[in-house]
Structure 1
Amino acid sequence: MSGAYILVLYYSRNGATAEMARQIARGVELAGLETRLRTVPAVSTECEAVAPAIPDSGAPYATLDDLKNCAGLALGSPTRFGNMAAPLKYFLDGTSNLWLTGELVGKPACVFTSTASLHGGQESTLLSMLLPLMHHGMLVLGLPYSENALLETRGGGTPYGASHHAGADGKRLLDQHEIALCRALGQRLAQTAQHLETPRG
């Protein structure tokens, strides 16, 4: 898979989802694939976007080519009333051309989220992110219960994808189980992408 990469695409306001993205990227790299960390700009209330073309810090903004050419996708967002954040949905709503040409069909994908409260919609947010990926024909991956951290976690972690409980002030750091699950999800995504690219004999 020379030149292949996993796209870790996320939106983050307070940094927790961005940290999850970095841990997932670490898992991808442990499995031997490159990662491309990308984010999306906030949705502007103006008719035209006023954000700079390049963010002041953090990952660059994603392009449709980043998505088109990836070997697999990890998609992350904070929870907004049990749903993905508007900036991420806005980006996904602009992927119709990739859908029309089937560019993402058969590629593996997974999702991750961060919430302020322990039962603040982690699972429904993950499911909301899975819907457009399924419409694109992607192969959806979750976290199996063979991952011990999924059985032991007192914070985030679901079979639908990695999650994190950031606390009401958004400052709770990822704990050991949440980190382990992020890395496990990244590894699973990369290994699946490698397996799908293996020529069948």
Structure 2
Amino acid sequence: MKEILVLYYSRNGSTLNLARQICRGIDSVEGSASRLRTVPPVSTVCEASAPAVPDSGAPYAEASDLEECSGLALGSPTRFGNMAAPLKYFLDGTSPQWLAGALTGKPAAVFTSTASQHGGQESTLLSMMLPLLHHGMIIVGLPFAEADLASTPDGGTPYGASHVTGHEVRTALSEPEARLAFALGRRLALTALKLSA
């Protein structure tokens, strides 16, 4: 069984909903299973710390999750065209895995959510790819063979799955967004199986 790590940070639930759809796509592939993990928020107060176990939702990610995975889907809300600080903080602590080559040759995909159609989704997805490329991962995107990619009025890019919340913060995914997130998870799992064969 190939386990694919779906690692995300979500504040209002939109990125979590994308993560869940990606997990469904991974789990639809025979021989693959998703492992859903999140990261704690970052505080500007040096003494503040998050509890060891989150109050709800997925457990916090550990280095072993990265080392044990056969692939990685990385998700974050958009923050001024970049990934959110908690996810960046987690990735900044992965030097031991980089030195050991723990992620080299494994497939990876990225996903994001933002308030507006022009809120920096694509630059966020591209910025999330950078540390994965440094880790030697193989980036998997969404091809235009996915019909929703060419017709959705909402989220969805060839760089990865995305969701537009609108200013009313609509956390529910549109049908095309959900299908694209599912397709990305499925494509990631199939790639992981092919690479390990």
Tell me the TM-score normalised to structure 1 length.
0.96
Calculate the aligned-residue CA RMSD, in Å.
Answer: 0.9
5+ residue gaps in structure 1? Answer: none
Taking a change above 3 Å as real, the CA distance of residues 47 and 135 of structure 1, as seen in their structure-2 partners, is same
The structural deviation recorded for 1:171 is 1.9
Q: Is the 8 A contact 2:17 2:171 kept in 1?
A: no
Residue 157 of structure 2 aligns with an amino acid whose one-letter code is T
Corresponding residue number in structure 2 for 1:44? 43
Corresponding residue number in structure 1 for 2:18? 20
Aligned to 1:156, the other structure's residue is in SS state coil
Corresponding residue number in structure 2 for 1:56? 55
5+ residue gaps in structure 2? Answer: none
Q: State the alpha-carbon separation in 2 of the partners of residues 69 and 169 from structure 1.
A: 38
Corresponding residue number in structure 2 for 1:191? 190
Equivalent residues in 2 for 1:169-180 (5 A)? 169-180=168-179
Q: Is the 8 A contact 2:75 2:110 kept in 1?
A: yes
Equivalent residues in 2 for 1:98-117 (5 A)? 98-117=97-116
Residue 26 of structure 2 corresponds to residue 31 of structure 1: no
The structural deviation recorded for 1:136 is 0.2
Q: State the alpha-carbon separation in 2 of the partners of residues 191 and 135 from structure 1.
A: 23
Deviating 4+ runs (over 4 angstroms): none
Q: State the alpha-carbon separation in 2 of the partners of residues 177 and 150 from structure 1.
A: 8
Equivalent residues in 2 for 1:112-127 (5 A)? 112-127=111-126
Residue 166 of structure 2 corresponds to residue 167 of structure 1: yes
Q: State the alpha-carbon separation in 2 of the partners of residues 173 and 62 from structure 1.
A: 24
The count of corresponding residues between Structure 1 and Structure 2 is 196
Aligned to 1:114, the other structure's residue is in SS state strand
- State the identity as a percent: 66
Residue 123 of structure 2 aligns with an amino acid whose one-letter code is S
